[in-house]
Amino acid sequence: MNTLYLREYQLQEMLLVIMTYIFVKYYYLIKINEKIDSWRSMLKIALLVTFVLLSGYFAIFYVFILGLILLLISYRNGQKQNIPFFIFAFLAAFAFTGSLYCKYYDGFFGYRGIEALGKLGLSGILDNIIVSSKKYLIDIRGYLISLPAILIFLILIGKVIIFDRTKNYNKDKLPLILSVCGVIWSALVMFFAPFKGVHYILSIFPIILLIIPYLTSFLKRKEIIIVTFIFTTVFFIKAFTRKEVYYGYLPIEKVYKDNSKLPVIVLVDDAGLNAALLSYFNDKRQFEFPHTPVSFNQKVEKYERLIVIMSQTEMFKAQYQIPKNYIIYNKFQCNWFFDGYVLHRKDKIKM
């Protein structure tokens, strides 16, 4: 449920939490009209933002959101001297980022950057919004919060709206603001992501969850203890009963289980992605791993009926084409990266 299995995103999670802490510090300093525009503070912000930017390209959205809020708060509180201070601090961060990783900005113009910007194209923007929204809601419910916890949220929100509206004006809304910022950032990331993987947004989950202490702050002491116990129980049950720990995991399709005696030919274009197929390997099947189109055809021809698991990459599919004397009897999705095909030889199909 956290980033235990996702290495570099755990590092990004730590950096986003640290950046949020520094943001909170300067947010309150601006609120009390404390002087912050010093060279030491500028260097501190610039270095932190640099490391955040280096943690992943999508982090730039979070930097922009928090930076914009600091500029607006400074302007609103009459501390206009802070505006050039923050602008120069962020510009210095961009300069440090380019110095530490010379090819950082090339990523915006490489194939990944072009692919991300292509999501804004008028031809497919609506479809992308629909697909991204569905995947976002599935991941939030699947990895961040379960249905029982959602019901508790709704009850808390209802109590705040109905019974505690007068208290609402005196509460510090910064945790709510940060939680909303986390939702906005994660939604943007899911929209621009090359493929809709939950690993892109896991790092912001601790920030989104700040809405919990905000809502519980409206409760009495006994109510807080009860809600905390319920939330803790729900999260622990979800964390320790979840079986989908494989990267890019999807439940094994029924058609694969039903054809348990069929041999399987596995075609991968990146050996590192073999881990995404761990749940499909077992000792009861025969597995073969061709490395050329010729060896693939030779191995397929050995069987009248078989299963082929192949990378979803279009270029890879064009290279490894299903032999013409076989038909695709069934098709299923293994995970984010691989599709499965049940093949039957045409001359052995019973009419």
| CATH code of 342's domain | 3.40.190
Give the Cα separation of 278 and 246 in Å (integer): 8
Claim to verify: residue 130 and residue 238 sit in the same structural domain: yes
Q: What integer pLDDT is reported at residue 25 of this predicted model?
A: 94
Closest CA to 235 of 319, 146, 124: 146
Instruction: Provide the domain limits for residue 48.
Output: 1-109
**Is 114 inside any structural domain?**
no
Q: What integer pLDDT is reported at residue 117 of this predicted model? A: 66
**Whether residues 238 and 136 fall in one domain:** yes
Rounded to 10°, the helix 39-54/8-31 angle is 150
Tokens matching residue 37: 């525009």
**Domain contains 247:** no
**Do residue 133 and residue 238 come from a single domain?**
yes
Tokens standing for residue 105: 């900005």
Indicate whether 232 and 294 sit together in one domain: no
272/338 same-domain check: yes
Residue 249 lies in a domain: no
Q: What per-residue confidence (pLDDT) applies to 163?
A: 66
Q: Which of the residues in the chain have pLDDT under 70? A: 1-7, 110-124, 145-149, 160-170, 239, 242-250, 270-272, 348-351
Do both 74 and 101 map to the same domain?
yes
Question: Which residue, of 56, 80, 109, is where some domain finishes?
Answer: 109
Regarding whether 157 and 183 lie in a shared domain, the answer is yes
Where a domain ends, among 201, 221, 242?
A: 242
Same domain? 211 vs 318: no
Tell me: do 158 and 217 sit in the same domain.
yes
Residue 271's pLDDT is: 67
Q: Is residue 19 part of a domain?
A: yes
Sheet containing 305-311: give its strands across: 287-288, 264-267, 305-311, 338-345, 326-333
* Residue 230 shares a structural domain with residue 323: no
Please check whether residue 120 lies inside any domain of the structure: no
Residue 324 lies in a domain: yes
Residue pair 16/58 in contact (Cβ under 8 Å)? The answer is no
| Contact (CB, 8 A) for 300 and 323 | yes
Cα dist from 58 to 50, 203, 240, whole Å: 13, 11, 30
What percentage of the chain exceeds 90 in pLDDT?
32
H or E element that contains 327: strand 326-333
Angle, vertex CA 74, rays to CA 203 and CA 39, nearest 5 = 80
Same domain, 104 and 138: no
Query: What local confidence, expressed as pLDDT, does residue 157 receive?
Result: 72
* Distance of alpha carbon 161 from alpha carbon 142, whole angstroms: 27
* pLDDT given for residue 305 in this prediction: 92
Tell me the CA distances in angstroms from 246 to 4, 39, 139, 273, one per residue in order.
11, 46, 15, 11
| Same structural domain, 72 and 144 | no
Last residue of a domain, one of 210, 242, 274: 242
What angle (nearest 5°) sits at the alpha carbon of residue 88, between those of residues 87 and 91? Answer: 90
Cβ-based neighbours of 197, under 8 Å, separated by 6 or more: 248, 336
Indicate whether 162 belongs to any domain.
Answer: yes
Residue 197 is given by DSSP the state: -
Q: How far apart are CA 244 and CA 336, in angstroms?
A: 13
Is the Cα dihedral 126, 132, 133, 135 positive or negative?
positive
Q: Is residue 207 part of a domain?
A: yes
| CB neighbour list of residue 54: distance below 8 Å, 6 or more residues apart | 97, 100, 101, 104
Closest among 196, 151, 207, 299 to 20, alpha carbons compared = 207
* Contact by Cβ (8 Å): 325, 345: yes
Cα 345 to the chain's mean position, in Å? 41
CA 233, CA 211: separation in Å to the nearest integer? 18
Domain count, the chain: 3
Q: What is the pLDDT of residue 165?
A: 58
Measured at the alpha carbon of residue 317, what is the angle toward residues 248 and 128, in degrees to the nearest 5? 55
